[in-house]
Structure 1
Amino acid sequence: MKLNVGGIDRVVRIAAGLGLVAWAAMGGPVWAWIGVVPLATGAIGWCPPYAIFGFNTCSVKKQG
């Protein structure tokens, strides 16, 4: 599994995910639990839709 979620993208996903999960835990709407998805993808650095569509926000230095 190759990383495809980069720095700023990861921070935004983790922040949004934590915000949604916290809102759901404090009695917010049930749909706010969807925050688990961006939280997980930000934490592991890999996003399945990015892999399917060929997106990559992870900056990798090329050798050579």
Structure 2
Amino acid sequence: MERNVGGLDRIVRGVLGIWLLVTAAAAYSDDSTERAAIAGIAGLGLLTNVATGFCGGNYLLGVDTTSGDACDAN
């Protein structure tokens, strides 16, 4: 898998992923397990994109946000 997520895109995915996991925890504590599962899966998916630098959706659409990034952490 070749990296296709970088810079600002990676930062935004990280923030949204953490926010979704917090939302999942809050939904689970309110006994809304269905909502918690959906938010948790979405959050983990985004954080996986951040950790690996690869997004299947970007790959299918031909999008690459790694080139020319000043915010690239690696």
Q: What's the TM-score, normalizing by structure 2?
A: 0.71
The two structures, once aligned, show a CA RMSD in angstroms of 1.4
The more displaced of 1-10 and 27-36 is 27-36
Query: Which residues of 2 match residues 8-47 of structure 1 at below 5 A?
Result: 8-27=8-27, 29-30=35-36, 31-33=38-40, 34-47=42-55
Ranges in structure 2 where 5+ consecutive residues have no aligned partner: 29-34, 69-74
Q: Which runs of 4+ in 1 moved over 4 A?
A: none
Amino acid at match of 2:6: G
How far is 1:27 from its partner?
Answer: 2.9
Aligned-partner SS, 1:51: helix
How far is 1:6 from its partner?
Answer: 1.1
The more displaced of 22-31 and 11-20 is 22-31
User: How many residue pairs align between the two structures?
Assistant: 60
The more displaced of 22-31 and 38-47 is 22-31
* Percent identical: 37
